[in-house]
Amino acid sequence: MENPNPVIHETAPRLEHGEDEPIDADYIFELLRDINDPEYPNTLEELAVVTKEQIHFMPPYGLLVEYTPTIPHCSMATLIGLCIRIRLARSLPHAIDVDVMIRDGTHVAEEAINKQLADKERVAAAKENPHLLAVVEQCLSGVRQAGIALTVT
């Protein structure tokens, strides 16, 4: 474990979305907040890896999710980004163009990791790796399933 004492943050109140609720930054945050960190027994929200302020939804079809690793040399940063990307791919309409990036200035290898996360072929190959996919599934095991009809505003 690289950071034996991560800072645990207070979590935000949950928002309940109705069937016809539009997709917005709050909805995206609800999709991501319960992803388990691969290294700690905490969620990405509790570690402030993902915050509402780092979600930029540009209706109707643009989405940028920035995330902040717990330390600048976090070895799990790529895996965390992959978990975010896969969660969004499974939950949002395919018409939404999703970008997942490390927040500027928060990781020593952010440029290389952002390039990997933007490469659709590399992401597709990662999804086909059984070992990696098992780790991703473990991280996603705690997420609440969205059981609502999606509308884009």
Residue range 16-52, pLDDT digits in tens: 655 566 789 999 999 999 999 999 999 999 999 999 9
- The long-range contacts involving 133-136, CB below 8 angstroms and separated by at least 24 positions, are 135/38, 135/79, 136/79, 136/82, 136/83, 136/86
Domains of the chain by residue range? 22-143
Per the structure block, which two tokens stand in for 131? 């070992």
Dist. CA 9–CA 49, nearest whole Å: 10
7 pLDDT above the threshold of 70: yes
Kindly give the pairing relationship between strand 55-58 and strand 62-67.
Answer: antiparallel
pTM above 0.85, yes or no: no
List the CATH code of the domain at 22-143: 3.30.300.130
Residue range 105-146, pLDDT digits in tens: 999 999 999 999 999 999 999 999 999 999 999 999 987 655
